[in-house]
Structure 1
Amino acid sequence: MFFSGMEECHKNVFRMQQLGSDVFEHVLKFIYTGKVNITAGIIQDLFAQAHIFQIQTLVNLCVEFFQKNMNEHNCLAALTLADIHAHRMLYLYAKNFSCQHFMRLVLDDDLYKLSCECVVDLLKDRRLECENEEIVYETAIKWLEHDIVARKNYRYKVLETVKFPMLKKTFLTDTVAKAQHVVSDDRGKELLDDGMLFHTIPARRHQLPLYQITPRLNMPFSEVAVLLGGRLSDGLSNEVECFVADTQEFFNLKQLPFKKRNEFSACTIGNDIYVSGGLRSPEFWKYDPSFDTWLRGPNLIHARRRHGMSAVDETIFVLGGFDEDNVLATVEYWSLDSGRWEEGGSLNQPVENMGFVAFGKNIYLFGGKNNDEVVTNSVQCYDTVTKTCTTLSCDLPVNDMCLSSVVFNNYIYVIGLEGVFRFSPDRENWDILPDMSCARVSLAVLDEKLYALGGRRRGAKDNLYTETIEFFNPETNLWLKAHNMPVPMYSYGCVRILLSKNMYLSRGPGEFIAPR
């Protein structure tokens, strides 16, 4: 204050407002003797005065006292105090404590006196220890109603901290849909719609805001990347391996139900995993994670491999690929209602080993190899409603094949042998992103980050495959090393699902795969 260039620096006399004389005596005593007797009764005022007078040693002693004596009755006061005085270390400590004891704090009136910034920061934390997301919703509503006039403009900012897809469908219908704080705001209605869509159209979950579909750490399920089979240095694998980003652990699910084969495809509807095709195979299978079981479905009309496979709503589409004689342009589809495969038109160009992903009602296909064995840079858009395909003018920045594609924050990320690219379906343009250490990878969105698992080394003649796991943070535009896979490989299928923690917490230590 006195050395900051502010008005107070130039005054001979400065009146200190709202400083208790009793506490100020402790400050003076510390200045002259270096000693102070800190008690719970004076800690808040003492911290504030030490901060005002920029007595860092005394500030540190106050923080140490808070940390040693923090409890459910003073943690919110410490959080507020740290926020007012911008003391990051105390703020983070108090917030962490508040997250751990949240179920008791919801009964404390001080919670509903927090500033908007503090309550938002607390409620959006993944570490929040709550029995269910309904409690977070009720806390947000109660905070808004604590001062309904003054806080009206904060509605969306506070409601956005609630993970609406994690609310029970009946709660969304019976309670949330009738709440004025939600339905009187267009953005609040969007949150409600996102929550309902999660429950009613599982195949569109990957298109919802990432924060909304990322579970809190204490929820009974985790988001996992499931890697289905693939190629190892010594041949093919039929293992189905799960990667839990929160713990950086791998464990096995039930093996693929067919003989080892090349180049099948996979997709999900909700948490059910579907696999089709492969070398000389028309087979179609579903994995039910609730029972760790594979179920056989009806065969494809055309056996194929190196094909695209995506779900839109409750229908799965299989596009292009290779039938051992020709690169295919044919499309076929299967729906939960009909339970059978039907012809669905054709692509503009036959391709194999292309990138593919569903976005809205369309399926985008990137690059791939055509019948002339030419690697292309074409971008095709298949309309699942009209069963027609168009070729877009916004070519992939390079000619590429063996591509992986995934939806991430309303963009499509495409990664292949020649680089990392980001496509905007709305604007139909491309961004070229920083490259990673390995070109051919399996992709999954976990913990609001883009994970790349394993892959094929670009230009390698031996040690073709890598065990590296990297993740991309769009805020920093950087790839960072996360961990290693159990063995170097690239997978033929990689999907994200929400898996019950009972599936892996109940397993013995020997059933885990130790990352290297």
Structure 2
Amino acid sequence: MSRQLTWRWKKGWSTEERDMAERISVDANGDFVFMGDTTTMLEGLNRLRLNNTFCDVILCCGGKEFPCHRNVLVSFSCYFEAMFTVEWMETRQMRVAIHGVEPLGLEMLVGYAYSSKVVISAANVQALLAAANLLNVMAVQEACCHYMERRMDETNCVGIHCFAEAHSCKTLAQRSMEYILTHFSVVFRQEEFLSLSVEKVTQILSSENLDVPKEEMVVEAALLWLNTCPTHRHTFEKVLEQIRLPLISPSYLHDVIESLDVVKESQGCQRLIAETKDPNLMQYSRRARPRGCRVREVMLVVHESYKRCYAEIFDPRTNRWKSLVARLPLPVSGHSVIVSGSSLYVAGGNSRGNSTSREMRRYDLRDPTQEPCDLSCGPWLQMASMDVARSEFGLVMLDGYMYAVGGCSRVLDPTSRDWYYPVFVERYDPDMNTWQPMMSVDRSECKSSPRDVIALDGLIYRFGAVTTDGVLLSRVKKYDPKTSIWTNCEPMQFPRTDFAVCTLKGNIYVIGGDCPTELTSNTYTDKVECYNPQTNQWRMCAPMKQRRFRPGVAVVDGNIYVLMGSEDSQVLGGGLRDIERYNDERDTWRIVGELPTNLFICDESMRCFSLRLADVYAQTPSSS
């Protein structure tokens, strides 16, 4: 360690003497440490280079030659360090060819290596940035990006963006794209925009952040681009698909767009126009949503009773609830529910006659941020039926497919008291609307629950079970759809039933439930276990604030939220209204809210899901 020497200034000291004092410090032993001027050394090295003295390599680029010193090049560029320190051909060559850069850029970088100074101007910035990117001189590359960003305007932002992408300048590419979207009303009239490829045009026009007063301006930009080059006609369908046609007035759509020859001659364009005029099809389409929509993650709570499906939206950031209602077309109970994208699926279950159903229905959720938000005004769509009738079974989404696992059935004899336990796993393809039985079976005749099945990293996991003799199991099994094989995993530390299960950061959490091993008359538990599939090991987590039987759970914004459920097995009902949140990094639970008073809080068929919704905050549709 050293400290700056304190001088008592003497009258008459010259500037040189004061400079000398500022360069001297004292180390721990009391010795003077003098700091010289590094620019003197650099100037000396540069003179040697200019006089071709002691130079041991000549860089050749575009017919020009630049004598240099290897040690200087290695000291400022990782590119040259790799070239001259690894046993490559160039290591011992006197003349080394540099390709992919302009001589001007290379000359300026060599000068920077010997002076730590470079003058950036509009005439040299592109050549300099390209050379700095190739030779991995990050300081100069960042300085060039900063220069281009500071001089960005409506006439050059598109060119800057394309140049930044070509040279992997991610920050500059992002900021130039933001500039394009923000100033689009001027940018689209510039020559740089009109010469863009169809891929880049569609990228810009598809953006949610495209700042336009009305969608007709996007049409105007597309038509300008179309008329710039005859070849653009062949790809205009891709451009038209990015325009929010439902937001355009019907008269403009008819008079301007449908009258275009390129639209009349293209079946794809005709299809887009026809889809725009179908309100049922456009009701849930991204193209019918105004631009400027931010996405937020909320919790969807679905609970059912005979002939009615209730849904509640909970936003943890605002601690607010919104109620939705959708009437089921048939009275069923014991069915399974799942959300995929913006669609709600209800499958299986028992009717009032106690027969088990194979049917499945889908409801396409309207964006609850937009009015009206009553789900009862839309139809339930009849989907393909399962091959096996099921009740109280697991329903999970994995890699775009839906899987039905376990459950029970009385389909063979509805009047019988004996239950049949389906052992086949079924897979549903939403695109093809077909079910397919999987090869493998889980032959353990055990009662399972819709709550004990979850999917993670290409596998399906089942936690716990109850045998036909009523024995509670702590077993864990995983199913691989690729091999159709069930495999045993490390069992849970506590056998339990009617618990909640969720995934967070590659781990699986088992939460609450009924645990007969509790040493109290109240067997409902607050215990939380965490399973690591990579190590096949369990660990205990901090317990919840309250015991919960049949709780609901969802992961929103990286936190686990638990709600509903009963807290006392000795009290009928005993429903909870507090909402708890778990932080996995701190291993702590907090009560962060409560349920609305109109919500039935002890529902056997209740499920919770995370849901991504759009916040409309900018544009409104054009009037017709």
Q: What range is the shorter-chain TM-score in?
A: 0.5 to 0.7
Other structure's SS at 1:429 match: strand
Answer yes or no: is 1:165 the counterpart of 2:246. yes
Q: Identify the match of residue 325 of structure 2 among 266, 276, 296.
A: 266
Answer yes or no: is 1:201 the counterpart of 2:280. yes
Partner in structure 1 of residue 202 of structure 2:
120
How far apart are residue 353 of structure 1 and its match?
5.5
The one-letter code sitting in structure 2 at the alignment partner of 1:85 is: H
* Alpha carbons of structure 1 residues 169 and 117: separation in structure 2 relative to 1, 3 Å: same
Other structure's SS at 2:277 match: helix
Q: Identify the match of residue 400 of structure 1 among 386, 389, 392.
A: 392
How far apart are residue 428 of structure 1 and its match?
0.4
Other structure's SS at 2:325 match: strand
* Alpha carbons of structure 1 residues 390 and 76: separation in structure 2 relative to 1, 3 Å: closer
CA distance in 2, matches of 1:388, 1:249: 33
Other structure's SS at 1:128 match: coil
Report 1:22-41 matches (<5 A): 24-41=106-123
Q: Identify the match of residue 379 of structure 1 among 347, 359, 374.
A: 359
Q: Identify the match of residue 435 of structure 2 among 410, 429, 436.
A: 429
* Alpha carbons of structure 1 residues 402 and 168: separation in structure 2 relative to 1, 3 Å: farther
CA distance in 1, matches of 2:384, 2:164: 56
The one-letter code sitting in structure 1 at the alignment partner of 2:359 is: V
How far apart are residue 38 of structure 1 and its match?
1.6
Partner in structure 1 of residue 287 of structure 2:
212
Does the CA contact (< 8 Å) of 1:243 and 1:250 recur in 2? yes
* Alpha carbons of structure 1 residues 93 and 32: separation in structure 2 relative to 1, 3 Å: same
CA distance in 2, matches of 1:223, 1:353: 31
Does the CA contact (< 8 Å) of 1:354 and 1:365 recur in 2? yes
Larger Rg: 2
How far apart are residue 36 of structure 1 and its match?
0.8
Does the CA contact (< 8 Å) of 1:353 and 1:403 recur in 2? no
Other structure's SS at 1:71 match: coil
Partner in structure 2 of residue 177 of structure 1:
258
CA distance in 2, matches of 1:159, 1:439: 50
How far apart are residue 239 of structure 1 and its match?
11
CA offsets per residue over residues 27-72 of structure 1, 9 Å max, x none? 3321321211223343223212322444333212212323444333
Q: Identify the match of residue 350 of structure 2 among 369, 372, 375.
A: 369
Unaligned runs of 5+ in 2: 1-78, 305-309, 363-379, 408-424, 439-453, 464-497, 502-509, 515-523, 525-546, 559-582, 584-590, 601-605, 619-624
CA distance in 1, matches of 2:127, 2:381: 70
Other structure's SS at 1:44 match: helix
* Alpha carbons of structure 1 residues 227 and 393: separation in structure 2 relative to 1, 3 Å: closer
CA distance in 2, matches of 1:424, 1:54: 48
Does the CA contact (< 8 Å) of 2:386 and 2:426 recur in 1? no
How far apart are residue 81 of structure 1 and its match?
0.4
Does the CA contact (< 8 Å) of 1:80 and 1:118 recur in 2? no
Report 1:296-315 matches (<5 A): 308=328
CA distance in 2, matches of 1:56, 1:223: 36
Report 1:4-153 matches (<5 A): 14=97, 19=102, 21=104, 24-149=106-231, 151-153=232-234
Report 1:223-238 matches (<5 A): none
The one-letter code sitting in structure 1 at the alignment partner of 2:239 is: V
CA distance in 2, matches of 1:195, 1:157: 15
CA distance in 1, matches of 2:237, 2:290: 20
CA distance in 2, matches of 1:160, 1:389: 29
CA distance in 2, matches of 1:225, 1:468: 9
How far apart are residue 440 of structure 1 and its match?
8.6
Does the CA contact (< 8 Å) of 2:293 and 2:617 recur in 1? no
CA distance in 2, matches of 1:125, 1:250: 30
Partner in structure 1 of residue 330 of structure 2:
320
Does the CA contact (< 8 Å) of 2:395 and 2:402 recur in 1? no
* Alpha carbons of structure 1 residues 172 and 433: separation in structure 2 relative to 1, 3 Å: farther
CA distance in 2, matches of 1:159, 1:429: 35
Does the CA contact (< 8 Å) of 1:50 and 1:58 recur in 2? yes
Does the CA contact (< 8 Å) of 1:421 and 1:433 recur in 2? no
Partner in structure 2 of residue 187 of structure 1:
268
Other structure's SS at 1:165 match: helix
CA distance in 2, matches of 1:122, 1:25: 37
How far apart are residue 240 of structure 1 and its match?
7.3
How far apart are residue 178 of structure 1 and its match?
2.3
CA distance in 2, matches of 1:457, 1:163: 44
CA distance in 2, matches of 1:86, 1:249: 39
* Alpha carbons of structure 1 residues 413 and 392: separation in structure 2 relative to 1, 3 Å: closer
CA distance in 2, matches of 1:144, 1:425: 34
CA offsets per residue over residues 319-360 of structure 1, 9 Å max, x none? 112xxxxxxxxxxxxxxxxxxxxxxxxxxxxx335468999x
CA distance in 2, matches of 1:250, 1:168: 38
CA distance in 2, matches of 1:215, 1:420: 39
Query: What's the RMSD between the two structures over aligned residues?
Result: 5.5
CA distance in 1, matches of 2:171, 2:426: 37
Higher relative contact order (CA 8 A, sep 6+): 1
TM-score by length of 1: 0.52
* Alpha carbons of structure 1 residues 131 and 469: separation in structure 2 relative to 1, 3 Å: farther
The one-letter code sitting in structure 1 at the alignment partner of 2:203 is: D
CA distance in 1, matches of 2:99, 2:433: 57
How far apart are residue 165 of structure 1 and its match?
3.3
Other structure's SS at 2:283 match: helix
* Alpha carbons of structure 1 residues 487 and 422: separation in structure 2 relative to 1, 3 Å: farther
CA distance in 2, matches of 1:166, 1:78: 31
* Alpha carbons of structure 1 residues 225 and 422: separation in structure 2 relative to 1, 3 Å: farther
Other structure's SS at 1:141 match: helix
Does the CA contact (< 8 Å) of 1:227 and 1:241 recur in 2? yes
Does the CA contact (< 8 Å) of 2:182 and 2:211 recur in 1? yes
Does the CA contact (< 8 Å) of 1:403 and 1:440 recur in 2? no
Does the CA contact (< 8 Å) of 1:439 and 1:458 recur in 2? yes
CA distance in 2, matches of 1:93, 1:108: 18
* Alpha carbons of structure 1 residues 143 and 425: separation in structure 2 relative to 1, 3 Å: closer
CA distance in 2, matches of 1:356, 1:183: 44
Partner in structure 1 of residue 52 of structure 2:
none
CA distance in 2, matches of 1:100, 1:190: 31
* Alpha carbons of structure 1 residues 96 and 178: separation in structure 2 relative to 1, 3 Å: same
Unaligned runs of 5+ in 1: 232-237, 257-264, 268-275, 277-307, 309-318, 322-350, 442-455, 473-480, 503-516
* Alpha carbons of structure 1 residues 127 and 38: separation in structure 2 relative to 1, 3 Å: same
